[in-house]
Amino acid sequence: MKVINIIGAGLAGLSAALTLAEKGIHSRLISVLPSERAQSVLAEGGINAALDTMGEDDTRELHFEETMRGGVMLADPAAVKALTDGAPGIVERLAALGVPFNRNPDGSLMLRSFGGQKKKRTAFAQSSTGKMIMTSLIDAVRRYEADGLVERLSHHTMIRLLIKDGVCAGVRVRDDYGGRLYDYAGTVIIACGGLNGFFPGITTGTDANSGMAASVLFAQGVKFANLEMIQYHPTTIGIPGKRCLVSEAARGEGGRLFSLKDGVRSYFMEERYPTLGNLMPRDVVSREMYSELRGGAETFLDMTGISDGTWENKLSDLREEIIHYLSLDPAKEPIPVEPGIHYFMGGIYVNTRHETCLPGLYAAGECACIYHGANRLGGNSLLGAVFGGMTAAQSVSGYRDRPRLTDGAFNGADELDCAPSEAFSASLGYMLREGLGIVRNDSGIRAALENVQMLGYGNAAERAKKALAEAMLYSALGRMESRGAHYREDFPETFEGFRSVTAAEYRDDAVRITFEDIGQGGVDNDKV
């Protein structure tokens, strides 16, 4: 019996499992923690689709164009076209599954403004969109768990891929409760989320996304892309152990950024960008905030102009959260905000079918590099996770492979059955943030690279993590231009010649970076 192994039970993993189950294909949903604890539940602001319910003549073409432009033309247009065309159907399906989206008086889905988009295009459920979508998808998948079509292996960590004859033949996992290792045969879909673990304590995401699954894949030869593209979200606040996001919905609903220096307020985004103002793409806003901060100003988000009705019906959770953490009521006074690491556009290099460079291995969700180019638009990643999971599952369903392994406990020792120490991860994180800030330059990246290269490793997990960290820095060093989230003060222009993918590979114990034409990722599994 064909069983597909899905690593990760966030939005992308659930979407893949559901799609497979609806086709009658068995899957194992393997994750460190249950779906309720995945980062996807944190998403607040919404999910994009050109549903055109707000009387603004929105179109799929415009969604496509703005996604491409937001990503500064670095994404694969064919993939983005499929994504933006598929978006309305996806959001309608989610509503049919019971996601309590906010609605217009006529019953149609209400849409809000989000960054980098001229039309209202973001469907939302107050400011807990991710949680609402996850709850509905978890229930939808549960039905197939009861049927036996989906087998849940929560509290299981991926240890390594099992590669045979140059094909991904299965995966080795550890049951974190008992500590035992198991080998599971079959095609693998990776849906392990973003690389938060490379920046411990300073991202808006979850610390359960350790980045180790990605590190192991990289060490095993899987090709990655655009690793230098790290999104800083303009509005975050420091809370114990992390940066807490203040959703872009705050600005979508009327929040305004200003800086304060010597008692003078400057609404710098509105002054510098009259059309989109506070809703410019995130890379632009974060950079402007950075320059305000560097100039000695403090930066604030002013939401005092938002109406009581909007607070109550669209942003109630956000207000509660801000009061809880800052003891400030955002409806009454501005709150201090600063940019923080939020999303990884780069990741496992896949093609439109979500195939990786390794036959039998697929990837979807935030761990994969495909839709967002050099900068992701808010509301496009929930969409990308659901659509990517579906697409990967559809591709897998047509992939004919023969079994190359049998399932069973693995009783030997695996050198990757370990984790980086907290001290190692903390040091590495510190070095990376020095080299990969909002504004970068050659000497800063080189200094970070030297530090990382000198960092000793104590086990195979640390070694793998170090290799992927080096790849991030080499990618940033090699892209001698500024594009989207990657801003080089020594190369502030965008060059057409760099409109290509930064591909990173680990071969013979060394990181290799090449620039490849867009859209060349992945092998066509049907032709292997």
Partner 1 sequence: MIKFEILRRRSASDPPYTATVSYDRDADTTVAEALTYINAEILTDDPVAWEHSCRQKKCGACAMLINGVPKLACDAWLRDYPEGVIRLAPLRKFPPVRDLMVDRSVMFENLKMLGAWLTENADGDTEGTAYDASRCLQCGCCLEVCPNFYAGGKFSGAAALAPASRLISEAQGADRKRLYGAYNERFYRGCGKSLSCRNICPAGIDTERLLVSSNAAAVWKRLFRRGKKK
Residues contributing to the site for partner 1 (CB under 8 A):
33-34, 36-39, 41-42, 95-98, 100, 103, 107, 125-126, 128, 131-132, 135-136, 139-140, 142-143, 145-146, 152, 154-155, 177, 206-208, 239-242, 244, 321, 422-423, 426
Q: Six-digit token pair at 446? A: 């080189």
Separation of alpha carbons 18 and 191, rounded Å: 14
Distance of closest approach, residue 296 Cβ to partner 1, in angstroms = 26
Rounded-to-integer distance, Cα 368 and Cα 265, Å: 41
Which residue, 52 or 366, has its beta carbon nearer to ligand FAD? Answer: 366
Q: 149 is written with which tokens?
A: 């079509």
User: Which pairing describes strands 230-239 and 338-344: parallel, antiparallel, or unpaired?
Assistant: antiparallel
Nearest residue (CB) to ligand FAD, 153 versus 528: 153
3-state helix, strand, coil in the chain (%, to 5): 35, 25, 40
* Partner from partner 1, ligand FAD, none binding residue 96, C-beta < 5-8 Å depending on class: partner 1
Can you tell me the distance from the alpha carbon of 367 to that of 40, in angstroms, rounded to the nearest whole number? 13
- Least Cβ distance, residue 239 to partner 1 (angstroms): 7
In the numeric block, which tokens belong to residue 293?
Answer: 């901060």
CA 425 to CA 209: how far, in whole Å?
13
Q: Which does 379 bind (CB under 5 to 8 A by kind): ligand FAD, partner 1, none?
A: ligand FAD
Contact (Cβ atoms closer than 8 angstroms) between residue 394 and residue 403:
no
CB of 36 to partner 1, least distance (A): 5
- The entry of ligand FAD, partner 1, none near residue 423 (CB within 5 to 8 angstroms by kind) is partner 1
Considering the complex, what minimum distance in angstroms separates the CB of residue 30 from ligand FAD? 6
Which residues have a Cβ under 8 Å from the Cβ of 112 and sit 6 or more positions away? 45, 46, 120, 122, 124, 249, 252, 253, 314
Which of 189, 477 has the CB closer to ligand FAD? 189
Q: What is the DSSP string of 254-289?
A: T-EEEEEETTEEE-HHHHH-TTTGGGS-HHHHHHHH
CA distance linking residue 355 with residue 328, whole number of Å: 47
| Contact of 273 with 280, CB cutoff 8 Å | yes
Nearer to ligand FAD (CB atom), residue 161 or residue 289:
161
CA distance 205 to 210: 11
- The closest alpha carbon to 266, from 328, 330, 334, belongs to 334
Nearer to partner 1, 37 or 404 (CB): 37
**Binding site partner of 185, from partner 1, ligand FAD, none, Cβ cut-off 5-8 A by kind:** none
Would you say 41 or 345 has its CB closer to partner 1?
A: 41
- The torsion defined by the Cα of 198, 204, 206 and 209, in degrees rounded to 10, comes to -30
Shortest approach of ligand FAD to residue 43 CB, angstroms?
3
Nearest distance in Å: CB 445, ligand FAD: 25
Return the number of the residue (78 or 426) whose C-beta is nearest partner 1: 426
Q: Residue 192: which of partner 1, ligand FAD, none does it interact with, CB under 5 to 8 A by kind?
A: ligand FAD
Task: Report, in Å, the least distance between residue 126 CB and partner 1.
Answer: 7
Chain contacts with ligand FAD (rule: CB under 6 A): 7-13, 30-33, 38-40, 42-47, 129-130, 157-158, 191-193, 204-205, 208-210, 212-213, 245, 343, 365-367, 378-382, 385
Q: What is the DSSP letter of 204?
A: S
User: What, of ligand FAD, partner 1, none, does residue 140 touch, CB below 5 to 8 Å by kind?
Assistant: partner 1
* Nearest residue (CB) to ligand FAD, 97 versus 260: 97
Closer to ligand FAD by CB, 356 or 482: give it. 356
CB 246 within 8 A of CB 236: yes
From the list ligand FAD, partner 1, none, pick the one residue 97 interacts with, judged by a Cβ distance below 5 to 8 Å according to partner type: partner 1
Q: Which CB, 89 or 492, lies closer to partner 1?
A: 89
Q: 327: exposed, middle or buried (C-beta count within 10 Å: 0-12, 13-18, 19+)?
A: exposed
Q: Which amino acid is at 292?
A: E
The nearest distance, CB 82 to partner 1, in angstroms, is 25
Minimum CB–partner distance for residue 280 and ligand FAD (Å)? 17
Residue 46 interacts with, from ligand FAD, partner 1, none (CB under 5-8 Å by kind)? ligand FAD
Among ligand FAD, partner 1, none, what does residue 129 contact (CB within 5–8 Å per kind)?
Answer: ligand FAD
Beta strand 256-261 with 264-266: parallel, antiparallel or unpaired? antiparallel
* Partner in contact with 95, chosen from partner 1, ligand FAD, none, beta carbon below 5 to 8 Å by kind: partner 1
Decide which of ligand FAD, partner 1, none touches 143; Cβ closer than 5 to 8 Å per partner kind: partner 1
Least distance to partner 1 from the beta carbon of 493, Å? 39
CA–CA dist 15, 31 (Å, integer) = 14
For residue 241, the minimal CB distance to partner 1 (Å) is 5
Helical (H) or strand (E) element with 93: helix 77-96
Partner touching 177 among partner 1, ligand FAD, none, CB below 5 to 8 Å by kind: partner 1
CB of 122 to ligand FAD, least distance (A): 8
DSSP code of residue 496:
G
Give the DSSP H/E element, type plus range, for residue 441: none
Which residue, 78 or 96, has its beta carbon nearer to partner 1?
96
- Strands 3-7 and 188-190, by their bridges, are parallel
In sequence order, which ranges of 189-334 are alpha helices (DSSP H)? 212-219, 249-252, 268-272, 282-294, 308-314, 316-326
The Cα 288–Cα 271 span in angstroms is 11
Q: Residue 78 touches which of partner 1, ligand FAD, none (CB < 5 to 8 A by kind)? A: none
The minimum distance between CB 118 and partner 1, in angstroms, equals: 29
